[in-house]
Amino acid sequence: MRLNAWTPLSTPCWNSVAVEDFRADLTEVCGRFLVEPYQRQPRIAGGVSRAYLSRFEAAKVSLDAQSVTRDASMIRRDPGEHLFLIVQDEGHATISQGDTLSPLSPGDMFLVDSARPSAFISSGRRMRQLSLHIPRDEAVHRFGRACTGGVAIDTDDPLRQALQAVLKKLMQEQSHGASAPLGETFMDLLGAYFLARQRQSSPDDRRDDRILGRVRAVVHEHADDPDFDLCQLATVMGTSRRTLQRHLSRLGETARRLILDIRLERAHSRLATGRAATVTGGVAAVAYASGFNDLSYFYRAFRKRYGIPPGKVGRPPIC
């Protein structure tokens, strides 16, 4: 039940543009898609622009066309590296992905898996969407497989409103550099949403989640130790390296990536809360305290993960 009218996040762009030019712009920002205009017209109304919301890239898409599709051949040429969190900003559409067929009205949200075929079918004229691009590997690591394959965000879930509120704040702050902590807040809310979904999953999925949850708990306990690795993780878990690797591989995870990500999350949290300023050595001290023994590697990995150098976390934006 919708209690309030939706307030759009983006401004419309209804330029007259050749279909092939629109498709080229969409490919540059989002990846390969086929745009099907009404009655095979050579031009459509719309536009594609890029935005940066905290550490995430986003796309603002206005489109007056019949459909937008991404098939297996496109994915082979342009592998999906992101999950697209779609917010329907204007108009109505239906999205099809896997076994999910979901109508979208203004304010509705859908997590599209760019590694799987998908189709947007307009339910009228002029639809507008905001697409937040979340690195797929990071999402699978943090939320598990439940976030893949196409997921409609439940309109009755209170976390949906919280996600919308943070997105609105990110949009408001994009012109002066939204803070990294706000982006992490958004990811934490998504994590809470998928954690709630896991309670309704199958017994096999719940078993896998318990295994991964136990592994993550062990890594969290030992991540500050720079010598902690796969061998020590397997020892603490009471299993062999091979068995542990096989379990993690089945869950789409590796011990090395899991340990690295948790160390980065810990370092980011310490930097974001200003704890680096109270420690002699600043960023370097936080890196060492978070389990890194190679500063160059830490800087490279941190920047790749968060899009900014560690020294800029927590700093007020320069206007």
Does the pLDDT value for residue 124 go beyond 60? yes
Residue 97 has pLDDT above 50, yes or no: yes
Q: Do 169 and 297 lie in a common domain?
A: no
pLDDT tens string 278-296: 444 689 999 999 999 999 9
Domain boundary among 153, 179, 198: 198
Q: Which residue has the higher pLDDT, 318 or 170?
A: 170
Average pLDDT over residues 60-68: 93
Asked if the model's pLDDT at residue 171 lies above 50, the reply is yes
Closest by CA position to 140, among listed 131, 151, 130, 129: 151
Q: What is the pLDDT of residue 173?
A: 80
pLDDT of residue 118: 93
Q: What percent of the chain has pLDDT over 70?
A: 88
How many domains does the chain fold into?
Answer: 2
Burial 217-238 (b: 16+ CB within 10 A, else e): ebbeebbeeeebebebbbeeee
- Give yes or no: residues 171 and 294 share one domain: no
The rounded distance, in Å, linking the Cα atoms of 56 and 179 is: 11
178 and 243 housed in the same domain: no
**Residues 223, 175 share a domain:** no
**Structural domain includes residue 6:** no
Q: What is the mean pLDDT of residues 38-55?
A: 91
Instruction: Please report which confidence band the pLDDT of residue 276 belongs to, taking 50, 70 and 90 as the band edges.
Output: very low
10 occurs within a structural domain:
no
Q: How confident is the model at residue 209 (pLDDT cuts 50, 70, 90)?
A: low
User: Do 300 and 175 share a structural domain?
Assistant: no
Q: Classify each residue of 145-182 as buried b or exposed e, where b means 16 or more C-beta atoms within 10 Å of its C-beta.
A: bbbbbbbbbeeeeebbebbbebbebbbeeeeebbbbbb
Q: What is the CATH number of the domain that holds 296?
A: 1.10.10.60
The chain-wide mean pLDDT, for the chain, equals 85
Q: Are residues 118 and 214 in the same domain?
A: no
Q: Name the more confident of 216 and 91.
A: 91
Residue 304 lies in a domain: yes
Give residue-wise pLDDT tens across range 293-304: 999 999 999 988
CA 51 to CA 131: how far, in whole Å?
Answer: 10
Domain end among 147, 168, 198:
198
pLDDT at position 312 is: 82
Give the C-alpha distances (Å, rounded to integers) separating 130 from 9, 63, 153, 210, 285. Answer: 8, 12, 15, 34, 39
Whether residues 33 and 117 share a domain: the answer is: yes
Domain annotation covers residue 4? no
Residue type, 212: L
Co-location of 98 and 184 in the same domain: yes
**31 and 147, same structural domain?**
yes
Domain that holds residue 31: 15-198
Tell me whether residue 41 is in a domain: yes
CA distance 271 to 282: 9
d(CA 303, CA 75): 27
Listed residues 198, 224, 253: the one ending a domain: 198
- Indicate if the pLDDT at residue 201 is higher than 70: no
Structural domain includes residue 318: no
pLDDT of 196 over the 70 cut? yes
Mean pLDDT of all residues in 139-166: 89
pLDDT band for 25, please (50, 70, 90 cuts). Answer: very high
Is the residue at 5 inside a domain? no
What pTM, to 2 d.p., does this model score?
Answer: 0.65
| Residues 107 and 35 placed together within one structural domain of the fold | yes
Residues 222 and 83 in one domain: no
CATH code, domain carrying 98: 2.60.120.280
Q: Over 80: is that where the pLDDT of 319 sits?
A: no
Q: Are 176 and 261 members of one domain?
A: no
